[in-house]
Structure 1
Amino acid sequence: MSEGVSRRGALAYAGAAAAFGLFPAAARAETEGAPAAPAAAEGDPQAFGPERHGLSAFGELKYGPDFKTFDYVRVDAPKGGSYSQTPSTIALNQNFTTFNTLNAYILKGDGAAGMELVFDTLMARAYDEPDALYGLVAQSVAVSGDGLAFRFRLRPEARFHDGSRLTAEDVKWSFETLKAKGHPLIAQQIRDLEGVEVEGEGVVVLRLSPKRTRDLPLTLAGLPIFSKAWYATRDFDAATMEPPLGSGPYKVGRIEPGRNITFERVADWWAKDLPVNAGQFNFDRVRYEFFRDRAVAFEAFKGKAYLFREEFTSRVWATGYDFPAVREGKVRRETLPDLTPSGAQGLWLNLRRAKFQDPRTRAAITLAFDFEWMNKNLMFDAYKRTASVFQGAPEMMATGVAEGAELALLEPFRGKIPDEAFGEPLTPPVSDGSGQDRALLRQGAKLLREAGWTTKNGRATNAAGEALTIEFLEFEPSFEPHLSAFIKNLKVLGIEGTIRQVDPAQFQQRTNSFDFDVVSRRMSMSPTPGEGLRQVYSSESANLPGSQNLSGVANPAVDSLIETMIAAKSRDELHVAARALDRVLRALRTWVPAWYKDTHTLAYWDAYGRPPEKPRFTRGTLETWWWEADKAEKAGVKA
C-alpha cells in the first residue's frame, strides 16, 4: 500500500493502505529547510515559493537538484530477461492468492498484483530516505507560503503508452476520480484535497484544506495518473480484465486470470532516463504467480515456475532448501537486513463484537497465546515477539514510565484510558515455553471471572447464557498449526476456538465488511507515520468499509495522538507523539501481538545480478536487480 514495501510476514496478511503499502510513505512538504518565496517573505501566504526538485516530510533532501541517479542503483545495469515471484505485499483490493480484475484502485474485486508498474506518478520515492520524493511526471513543484497550494510543472515529454501526451487535465481527472470513486482508503486519505486547477497543459495546482494532514501533498504526488481520454468510454469503478492505458515502465502482457499476470517492459518508456529511474526497472518481463497453498507454491519454485522467492515460513527456510538445485549452487539463499519498521503483527480482535468489549476478556485471550512454545517448536526460533505497534522503530517505541513531553500528551486523558498507559508500557506475557503455561492460564481464568464469565460444563458463559467462542478467519492453511496450539490453550479457559478457512474472495469480502471475530494481519509501518495511522486506528475509519481498522478502535485519546503526530513540525515531535500513542494502543489490548523478524530471507535461481547495497527502506529486487544471461544458462533457467 505503496511502500517501501511491507513484506508479508508469517501471519496471513501484510498491511495495506497508503502510508503502509501501495503509495509512497509520504508526508507533508514543509517549508522549513527550503528557501522562502520573496512574495511569501513580504507577507503574502498564498504566493508560491521557488520551484524545487523534491519534497520530504520535514524539508530534508539527500539529493540535490542536479543529481543524476540514486546511490543504490547500478546506472548501466543491463536490460533484458525476466523476474518472477509470488505476491509478497498487497494493498487496497489486492489479494495474495488470486485476482479477477486489473483495476487495483477500487473496492470491488480482487486486484492483480503489480498494477502500480503500469502508471506513472507526479513524483517518485527515494528508497534510501524515510519519505523523500523527487520529480517524475512533474519536473518541479512550488509551494505556497501557507503550505496549502502546490503547483506542479509537468514534463512536456510525459506520454501514455499510446503516444498521447500526459497533461494537467489527466492529473486533475485522476485525482478527482480517485477521491469520488476510488477505494475508500484512497478517498479517505485525500479528502482534504479541496480542488485541482489546470494552468495550461503543463501546470497543475493542488489546493488543500487548512486542516490537511502532513502526508497529503506527498500522497497526492504518489498517486497513479490515468488517461482521461481512455476512461471517457469506460467506467472507472468497474472491475474489469481489460488492460488499462498507462504511462509507466511496464504494460500488462499475458494474463491467466487467477493464476498469473505478466508485465512487459516498455522499451521506449518516456521516463526511462530520468534520474529517478536510471538503473531501475531492468527486466523485460515481470510475472506474478498465484497459488492457493504455500506448499504448492514452494514446489512450483523448485520446479522453476517462478524464479524469486522471499521465504516467510521458518520451517521451510530451515529444512526445505536441501533440494539438488541448492546443493549444486543453481539456487542461492541470502539473508538481507530489513531496516524498515516492522509495525504491528498479530491477531486482531473485532471489538465490534460484544464478547470482546471487556479489556479483561481480551487480556485473558492474550495470556493463552504461547509465543515461546510456537517459536521453538514451529518456527525454529527464527522470530522475536512483537510488543509495539511501531516495532522495529526504536525512536517511536514506548519505554519506561511516561514522563516529560509524553506525559503531557497523555495527562488530559487520565481516567479515560487504562492506567497502564502511564506506567511501563504493556508487553506480552512471557511463557515458560511448555505450550501450556499453567501460571498464565490461571491469570487468564481469573480475568475471565472478573469480566463476568462463569464456567458451565467446561465453557466460559456470560450472564445471558452465551458461550464465549472465537472463530479465526483465514484464507490459507499455513497458520493452522499456530492457531491450533492457541485454540488448545483457549479451551483450558473454557473458550471454544475454531478455524474458518474460506476462499480468498470471501475472505476479502468478510474483512471489508468486518464480518469476523479474529483475523491475522501485519500492519507494516512507514518510517514517517501519518495519515495511514488514521486508517488503522482512528474513530473515523472504525466503520469505513475496506478500512484497515480491523479491531474497530474508536478512542478519543488515540484520535488526539494521531492528530498530534500528523501535525508534528519536527521528527522529534513526531517521535514523542508516537511513543505516547504506542502506550495507549498497547494498553487498550485490541490485538494479540505475534512475532516479527528483521531480515529478508531470500531464495532465487541464480540468474540475477544486483548492486552491492540494497536501498535502506525496501528490498529493491524488482527495482534495482538485473538479468545475467551467463548465470542463467549455468542455472538452467530461461528468460
Structure 2
Amino acid sequence: MSGKITLCKPFSKLVCLVLLPGLLFVASPLLASSKPPVCSHALSLHGEAKYPANFAHLDYVNPQAPKGGSLRQAAQGTFDSFNPFIVQGTAAVGLGNIYDSLTYHTADEPFTEYGLLASCMQLDPAGHWIEFELRPEARFHDGKPVTTEDVAFTFKLLREEGQPFYRAYYADITEIKVLNPQRIRFELASHQNRELPLIIGQIPILPKHYWQDRDFKQPSLDKPLGSGPYKIADVDSGRRIVYQKVADYWGENLPINLGRNNIENMIYDYYRDATVALEAFKAGRLDFRLENIARNWATGYNSPALNSGDLVLESIPHKNSAGMQGFFFNTRREVFKDPKVRLALTQMFDFEWSNQQLFHGAYTRTQSYFSNSELASSGLPQGKELALLKPFAKQLPEEVFATEYSLPVTDGSGNIRNQTRKALGLLREAGWKIDGRRLVNAEGEQLRFEILLHDSSFERVVLPWRQNLERIGIRMDVRVVDVTQYLNRLRSFDYDMVVSSIGQSLSPGNEQREFFHSEFAHSPDGRNISGVKDSVVDALIEQLINAKDRDSLVTATRALDRVLLWGHYVIPHFHLSEYRVARHKHIKIPEVRPDYGLPIDTWWVE
C-alpha cells in the first residue's frame, strides 16, 4: 500500500500478518472434559492443526534448498538501537532473526502454533491455564540452555518495562509458575480469552543472564544475545546491519525449521529515500523489494535487467485481512473532536480520481478495518450482531442501525460537486461557515491542520486532496519528516493527522485493546492512533476477546468494525490482496505459496 508504515509490534501475530480467535487442541476440544489434558505438539484456534506430530516439514518449504549466499534488502531512515522491545530509540530492522519463541506460527493456516523452543503444550480443558515443556537441547548463542527461568523473566521484563503493547496483549496472565527447568505454567484470568494460550507462545524469549544486570529501558547498540537462527555479524551504525547464520544453531534440524533459514547473510542497507532504494535495486545493489507504490510497480522497474530476465516481478495473492490504511485523525486535537468535521473531510477525498490518475487503477477502496475477510461489517446489522449492538443503542449514532456505511464515490473526473455540497452542509452543522475564502468558526479562526508524513512519495496523494479542501476554505499544511522524528512524534501524539495503518489478522483478539481501548488513548507509544475513547468500543473489544467460538468472534468483530467506522476516526485509503515481489533471478522462492504470509525465511540463493 502506497505510503504505508507498519505499526505492528515486533514478534506478535501481527508481524506482520501482519505484525497477525474456539480454541482447540489438535485432537481434543477446549471444553470441559473428563479426559486429562494432553501435551500436544500444536495448538490451533479453529479446528485441528494441519500438520500431525510426526510431520517431516512444512508444505511451503523446499527441504532440499541449498544453504548459503546473501539477501540484501533496503530499510528506510536510520537506527540507533538493538532493543525493539522498548519505547525509546529507533530499533534496527531484522532483529526478529536473533530470537526464538516458544512456538512458531505457520503461514498456511489462519492461526496455528507449533512448538519451537517448546516441545509441546498442555492446555487445561477448562481453559484456566497452559503449560509449556521446553526442549532440553534449546540453547542461546553462548551455549547456555534456555530454561523456564528465562521464560518467566522475559514476561515479567516486557510487561513491566517494555512497550505498552505487552501489558495490553498479555493482561490476562495472572500468574507464571516455574514448575521445573523445562516446564512452566501460565495461569489465565479468563477461560474465555481463547487466543491467549496461543499468543503466549509467540513472545521472543530473552536470556536472563544477559539482561538481569543491564538497563533494559535504555536503547543500546550492544549486540544482543538470542537463541534464534541468526546473530548480528556486522554493523555500520545507522546505515547497515548484517545478520549471519549461527553455525551451530540448536534448532537447525527440527521439522518446523527444515527448509527455512537457508540464507547465510541477511543484509539491510538503509536509505533515506525510497526512490534511491529502487534505483539501487535495479543497479543490482539490492536483491529483493516488496513494492508498495503502484506507480513503481507499473513503470518503475523498466530497465535492461527486466528486459533480459535478470529481474523478476511477481504478484503473489494472499488471504490476509487488509487491515486499515488511511488518514488518521488525532481526535485529541480540538479541530477534530466533532465527528461531523471528520466526515466532511472524508467527503473531500476523491479516491476514484487518485486510483485512475496515480495508481493505474490498481487498488480497491478500503471499506472496513477488516477488509478482505469475513470479519468486515456490511449492510445493516442483523441477527446476532444486531442483538449484540442493541443494548448500546442510546450511546451510538442512529446511523449504526439505520444506514449502511459507505464512502463517497465519484466518477473519477475530479468534479466532486455533490461531495462538496455534503461536506459544507456537515461543516455548517458543526459551526463552521465560509468567510471570503476561508472556512471559519464563531471566533473567526480558520479550519486548519497539519498532516505529518514520513515518506515524500505520499505527497502526490495528499496534494490533490489539499486542493479540494482549499476550495472550501480549509488550510492543510503538509510536513514531511524523517522516520525517527515521525516515530517520536507518533509516540507523543504530536500530530493533527498522519498517514498510517493498522494491520489485522484473521483472528483478532487482545491487540484490539491497544488499537482502540480507552485505556490506551493517552498511553505513550501506544497504537490508539486516533485517540478512540468510547465505552461501547471498550465493551465490544472485551466481547471479541472472550468470544467462545468462531461464530461469536465474527459477530463481535463485525459489531466493533461498524461502531469504529461510524465514529469516523480515519479516512480509509485502499488495499491490495496480493504481495508485489521484485527480486533478482538468483533469489528463489518455493513453488507452494502459503495463503497467510510471505515467508522470506523459506527463500534461498542460487
TM-score category, normalised to shorter length: over 0.9
For the 8 Å contact 1:347–1:593, the answer to whether it is kept is yes
Residue 546 of structure 1 deviates from its aligned partner by 1.1
Segment drifting more, 432-441 vs 235-244: 432-441
Residue 24 of structure 1 deviates from its aligned partner by 8.2
> Equivalences for 1:289-300 in 2 at 5 Å?
289-300=269-280
Cα deviation per residue 1:488-530 (whole Å; 9 max; x = unaligned)? 1111121100101122222111111111111011212101111
The separation in 2 between residues aligned to 1:58 and 1:612, in whole angstroms, is 26
Residue 63 of structure 1 deviates from its aligned partner by 1.4
Residue 27 of structure 1 deviates from its aligned partner by 4.6
For the 8 Å contact 2:78–2:239, the answer to whether it is kept is yes
One-letter amino acid of the structure 2 residue matched with residue 323 of structure 1: S
Residue 481 of structure 1 deviates from its aligned partner by 1.0
For the 8 Å contact 1:27–1:218, the answer to whether it is kept is no
One-letter amino acid of the structure 2 residue matched with residue 185 of structure 1: F
Distance 1:106 1:583, change over 3 A: same
Distance 1:413 1:232, change over 3 A: closer
Distance 1:32 1:224, change over 3 A: closer
Residue 235 of structure 1 deviates from its aligned partner by 1.7
Residue 191 of structure 1 deviates from its aligned partner by 2.3
Report whether the alignment pairs 1:285 with 2:250: no
For the 8 Å contact 2:17–2:597, the answer to whether it is kept is no
The separation in 2 between residues aligned to 1:454 and 1:238, in whole angstroms, is 49
Cα deviation per residue 1:324-354 (whole Å; 9 max; x = unaligned)? 1111111111111132111111110011112
> Equivalences for 1:253-292 in 2 at 5 Å?
253-292=233-272
Q: Name the counterpart of 1:374.
A: 354
> Equivalences for 1:75-114 in 2 at 5 Å?
75-87=63-75, 96-114=76-94
Q: Give the secondary-structure state (helix, strand or coil) at the position aligned to 2:465.
A: helix
Residue 229 of structure 1 deviates from its aligned partner by 0.8
> Equivalences for 1:503-518 in 2 at 5 Å?
503-518=482-497
For the 8 Å contact 1:386–1:595, the answer to whether it is kept is yes
Cα deviation per residue 1:468-487 (whole Å; 9 max; x = unaligned)? 11200012201001111111
Q: Name the counterpart of 1:21.
A: 15
The separation in 2 between residues aligned to 1:447 and 1:211, in whole angstroms, is 46
Q: Name the counterpart of 1:5.
A: none
One-letter amino acid of the structure 2 residue matched with residue 358 of structure 1: D
Q: Give the secondary-structure state (helix, strand or coil) at the position aligned to 2:133.
A: strand
Report whether the alignment pairs 1:627 with 2:590: no
The separation in 1 between residues aligned to 2:19 and 2:239, in whole angstroms, is 30
Cα deviation per residue 1:23-76 (whole Å; 9 max; x = unaligned)? 988758456951689xx745xxxx961211111224531111211211111112
Report whether the alignment pairs 1:70 with 2:69: no
One-letter amino acid of the structure 1 residue matched with residue 68 of structure 2: G
One-letter amino acid of the structure 1 residue matched with residue 584 of structure 2: W
Q: Give the secondary-structure state (helix, strand or coil) at the position aligned to 2:511.
A: helix
The separation in 1 between residues aligned to 2:307 and 2:104, in whole angstroms, is 40
For the 8 Å contact 2:513–2:520, the answer to whether it is kept is yes
Report whether the alignment pairs 1:140 with 2:120: yes
One-letter amino acid of the structure 2 residue matched with residue 608 of structure 1: I
The separation in 1 between residues aligned to 2:321 and 2:402, in whole angstroms, is 24
Residue 270 of structure 1 deviates from its aligned partner by 0.6
Residue 358 of structure 1 deviates from its aligned partner by 1.4
Quick one: which of 462, 475, 478 aligns to 2:457? 478
Quick one: which of 327, 340, 351 aligns to 2:320? 340
Residue 239 of structure 1 deviates from its aligned partner by 0.4
Residue 418 of structure 1 deviates from its aligned partner by 1.5
Matched positions, count? 604
Q: Give the secondary-structure state (helix, strand or coil) at the position aligned to 2:384.
A: helix
The separation in 1 between residues aligned to 2:79 and 2:90, in whole angstroms, is 5
For the 8 Å contact 1:401–1:424, the answer to whether it is kept is yes
For the 8 Å contact 1:23–1:223, the answer to whether it is kept is no
Quick one: which of 391, 396, 401 aligns to 1:417? 396
For the 8 Å contact 1:360–1:447, the answer to whether it is kept is yes
TM-score normalized by the length of structure 2: 0.96
The separation in 1 between residues aligned to 2:36 and 2:221, in whole angstroms, is 43
Residue 279 of structure 1 deviates from its aligned partner by 0.6
For the 8 Å contact 1:192–1:212, the answer to whether it is kept is no
For the 8 Å contact 1:422–1:583, the answer to whether it is kept is no
Q: Name the counterpart of 1:496.
A: 475
Q: Name the counterpart of 2:178.
A: 198
Q: Give the secondary-structure state (helix, strand or coil) at the position aligned to 1:396.
A: coil
Quick one: which of 428, 444, 466 aligns to 1:449? 428
For the 8 Å contact 1:128–1:615, the answer to whether it is kept is yes
Q: Name the counterpart of 1:224.
A: 204
Q: Name the counterpart of 1:239.
A: 219
Q: Mind listing any 5+ residue stretches in structure 2 that lack a counterpart? A: none
For the 8 Å contact 1:347–1:518, the answer to whether it is kept is yes
Residue 389 of structure 1 deviates from its aligned partner by 0.7
The separation in 2 between residues aligned to 1:460 and 1:99, in whole angstroms, is 42
Residue 387 of structure 1 deviates from its aligned partner by 0.8
Report whether the alignment pairs 1:468 with 2:447: yes
> Equivalences for 1:168-207 in 2 at 5 Å?
168-207=148-187
TM-score normalized by the length of structure 1: 0.91
Q: Name the counterpart of 2:2.
A: 10
For the 8 Å contact 2:119–2:135, the answer to whether it is kept is yes
One-letter amino acid of the structure 2 residue matched with residue 606 of structure 1: K
The separation in 2 between residues aligned to 1:559 and 1:404, in whole angstroms, is 21
Distance 1:367 1:345, change over 3 A: same
CA RMSD of aligned residues (A): 1.9
One-letter amino acid of the structure 2 residue matched with residue 193 of structure 1: I
Residue 166 of structure 1 deviates from its aligned partner by 0.8
Distance 1:276 1:323, change over 3 A: same
Cα deviation per residue 1:138-176 (whole Å; 9 max; x = unaligned)? 101111233122111111000011111111111111111
Q: Name the counterpart of 1:552.
A: 531
Q: Give the secondary-structure state (helix, strand or coil) at the position aligned to 1:449.
A: helix
For the 8 Å contact 1:398–1:425, the answer to whether it is kept is no
> Equivalences for 1:146-161 in 2 at 5 Å?
146-161=126-141
Report whether the alignment pairs 1:34 with 2:14: no
> Equivalences for 1:551-630 in 2 at 5 Å?
551-620=530-599, 622-628=600-606
Cα deviation per residue 1:3-23 (whole Å; 9 max; x = unaligned)? xxxxxx212312413443269
Cα deviation per residue 1:542-593 (whole Å; 9 max; x = unaligned)? 1111111111111122222221111112211111222222221111111101
The separation in 1 between residues aligned to 2:180 and 2:174, in whole angstroms, is 19
Q: Mind listing any 5+ residue stretches in structure 1 that lack a counterpart? A: 1-8, 88-95, 629-639
The separation in 1 between residues aligned to 2:324 and 2:18, in whole angstroms, is 19
For the 8 Å contact 2:327–2:499, the answer to whether it is kept is yes
One-letter amino acid of the structure 2 residue matched with residue 331 of structure 1: L
One-letter amino acid of the structure 2 residue matched with residue 422 of structure 1: F
For the 8 Å contact 1:427–1:586, the answer to whether it is kept is no
Residue 417 of structure 1 deviates from its aligned partner by 1.0
For the 8 Å contact 1:28–1:213, the answer to whether it is kept is no
